[in-house]
Amino acid sequence: MQFSEILSTLPTIDHLAAIELFTADEMTARIENKPGSAGSVRVYHALFQEFGEISRAAAEKGLRIYAEHTTDAIAFPGKHPNIDRLLALGTDVSQAEAPQTLSVKLILA
């Protein structure tokens, strides 16, 4: 399946302005619900609903959801930062600085 097909099956995010991601108490990312990043908000929101955090298992599922974009992110590191974040969590690559999990804060619209 293509990302757009999978995305249409995920819960809506009309009630969200953004999602903030944290390691410990430090915000590491804010993804705005706006054109160009709304799909990522929808993916991260769905993962948070299912897993309660962005863990390795959540990251692995997220990489499957991103479908063809995951392949592009692997080929072009830095092009898709929201996918790169999941790659750092969901792969066996040894990255001492990579967090084990990310906590999520939903910012309501």
- The string of pLDDT tens digits covering residues 67-98 is 999 999 999 999 999 999 999 987 655 455 55
pLDDT reported for residue 24: 85
Q: Distance between CA atoms of 109 and 105, rounded to whole angstroms? A: 13
If one counts the domains in the chain, the total is 1
**Confidence label for 66 from pLDDT (cuts 50, 70 and 90):** very high
DSSP code of 13? -
In contact, 18 and 33? CB cutoff 8 Å: yes
For the range 60-67, what are the long-range contacts, defined as Cβ-Cβ under 8 Å and sequence gap of 24 or more? 60/90, 62/86, 62/90, 63/87, 63/90, 65/3, 65/6, 65/7, 65/10, 66/3, 67/1, 67/2, 67/3, 67/6
Structural domain for 70, as ranges: 3-108
What pLDDT, on a 0 to 100 scale, did the predictor assign at position 25?
86
Q: pTM for the whole thing?
A: 0.92
Paired tokens of 44:
């991260």
Q: Specify the pLDDT at position 72.
A: 97
pLDDT at 98: 57
Per-residue pLDDT at 29 exceeds 60: yes
pLDDT value, residue 90: 73
